[in-house]
Structure 1
Amino acid sequence: MSPAVFAHGHLRLYLLSLLGERSMHGYELIQALADRFGGTYVPSAGTIYPRLAKLEEEGLVTKTADGRKTVYAITDAGRAELAGRESDLDGIESELTDSVRRLADEVRSSVDDAMRSLRADLAAAAREARGEAKAERVERVDDARMRSRGRLHEAESAVNEFRFELRSELRQLAAEGRLESSVVDLLRTGLTSLRREVIGAARNGS
């Protein structure tokens, strides 16, 4: 459990409330939590199953085999505990709203940092290309600089347009609660690959 997401004991109660809606197996509970956080927080199996075991020991849930899966269901004692802690659940829901907003802000910050890094790498690649052109063809320095500056301006314009459109779309996804951590991972991987391709193209003169 991440303390930044759930306070002590709150994940246990929240799992019980999810089972109060319907019976689920472990993966479904993990997915249900991920959905509530719009993919910004996905608990591990090592976080969920020990708490389910504790709930079973306390007689608040039962588990039954359904093929290769284990299905967890709330008991009457579990429903009684939920009824007695309704105010606590309301407080947890409020905390989760704050956590989702905070995690979404962190995602946006990560995306902004990646875009700034990409822009700096493109500018550095353009400067390196200008330096190589100067060393190889002294008599064409001025012409090479003019072309490089023009291309740098085009590259920066493309980066700015990409940044604006992507940032707008990511903010919309975050507002809808649909911005998943896999999207951020894909963005980081894609930007790293793009940076390498740009630098490789500049160095090879292609």
Structure 2
Amino acid sequence: MFGAGDLRFVILQLISEKPSHGYEIIKSIQERLGGMYAPSPGVVYPMLTMLEEMGHATVVSEGARKLYTITEEGSKALAENKAVVEALFARMDRTRTEQANDRAPQIERAVENFRMALRMKAGPLTTEQIHAITDIIDAAAKQIERV
């Protein structure tokens, strides 16, 4: 979804609008993309740590959660890359609009649940498990085609 370095500017822009926790940033990106994509915590949290190390964000611990806020240095980085940031958010807006015209959010949620179920079955599967999963997927696809 994002090119090299793009997510850094998206996160900086979001925390410039409102100090946020990592989870809130993930949800905000997902909402801005119409539910089509949400960055994983394994991408967002290291990026937040990097922004903090670069001096572009500060963090305040609130129990187990961390609240990220943009710094003056981070604001300068945003200003210096204003055209890039605007282009990124325009692309995100287009994606959200296109997505809104494609499928209902309930369907997107169901598809994400399906993907999560498959990810949770990761690891070595028996031949029987593989056949059962493919039978379920094929049956669901046939039902959807008939709707």
TM above 0.5, yes or no, is yes
Distance 2:27 2:51 in 1: 19
Partner of 1:30: 26
Aligned length: 121
Pairing 1:179–2:116 present: no
* The one of 84, 87, 102 aligned to 2:83: 87
Q: Which has the higher helix share?
A: 1
Specify the structure having the higher radius of gyration (Cα): 1
What SS does structure 1 have at the residue aligned with 2:105? coil
What percent identity do the matched residue pairs reach?
Answer: 31
Distance 1:81 1:58 in 2: 11
Pairing 1:47–2:18 present: no
Segments of structure 2 that go 5 or more residues without pairing to the other structure are 116-135
Residue type at the aligned position of 2:59: K
User: Residue 183 and residue 60 in structure 1: after superposition, are their counterparts in 2 closer, same or farther (change >3 A)?
Assistant: same
Deviations 1:147-179 (A, max 9, x none): xxxxxxxxxxxxxxxxxxxxxxxxxxx239962
Distance 1:62 1:183 in 2: 36
Matches of residues 158-173 of structure 1 in structure 2 within 5 Å? none
Query: How far did residue 99 of structure 1 move?
Result: 4.0
Distance 2:77 2:113 in 1: 41
Segments of structure 1 that go 5 or more residues without pairing to the other structure are 105-173, 196-206
User: Residue 97 and residue 64 in structure 1: after superposition, are their counterparts in 2 closer, same or farther (change >3 A)?
Assistant: same
Distance 2:79 2:43 in 1: 25
Query: How far did residue 23 of structure 1 move?
Result: 0.5
TM-score relative to the length of structure 2: 0.69
Partner of 1:78: 74
User: Residue 187 and residue 55 in structure 1: after superposition, are their counterparts in 2 closer, same or farther (change >3 A)?
Assistant: closer
Conserved 8 A contact 1:40-1:179: no
Residue type at the aligned position of 1:12: R
